[in-house]
């Protein structure tokens, strides 16, 4: 009878250890999952910003003029728009 109780206690103890190990592993996986989701979100945001810059570069090239002064003014104006868009995106992310 004593042996039977000791065997049950050992098995329950082992089950508790396995459960705790599984819980710890679950927490680690959840933490990694959250980190990966965060990284993915950052990468998507970076992609959006780069796509906007590509659009602006295409617009800048299509607006090119023979007058260097007008070309410089156009680029400055576009850069101002980019900064304003970046500020808006930063505010939206908060």
DSSP codes joined into one string, 52-81: HHHHHHHHHHHT--S-HHHHHHHHHHHHHH
pLDDT tens string, the chain, 94 residues long: the values are: 888 889 999 999 999 999 999 999 999 999 999 999 999 999 999 999 999 889 888 877 766 555 666 777 778 888 888 888 888 888 777 6
The tally of domains found in the chain comes to 1
* CA dist., res. 76 & res. 68, Å (int): 12
Report residue 73 CA to chain centroid gap: 35
* CA dist., res. 45 & res. 18, Å (int): 40
Domain residues for the domain of 12 are 2-93
| pLDDT for res 56 | 83
| pLDDT for res 30 | 97
pTM, to two decimals: 0.54
| pLDDT for res 74 | 76
> Can you read off the two tokens belonging to residue 13?
């103890």
| pLDDT for res 14 | 96
């Amino acid at each position: 009878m004593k042996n039977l109780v000791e065997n049950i206690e050992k098995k329950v103890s082992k089950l508790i250890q396995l459960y705790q190990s599984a819980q710890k592993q679950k927490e680690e996986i959840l933490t990694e999952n959250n980190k990966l989701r965060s990284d993915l979100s950052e990468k998507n945001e970076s992609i959006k910003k780069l796509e906007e810059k590509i659009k602006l570069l295409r617009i800048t090239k299509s607006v090119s003029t023979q007058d260097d002064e007008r070309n410089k003014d156009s680029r400055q104006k576009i850069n101002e728009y980019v900064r304003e868009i970046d500020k808006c995106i930063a505010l939206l992310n908060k």
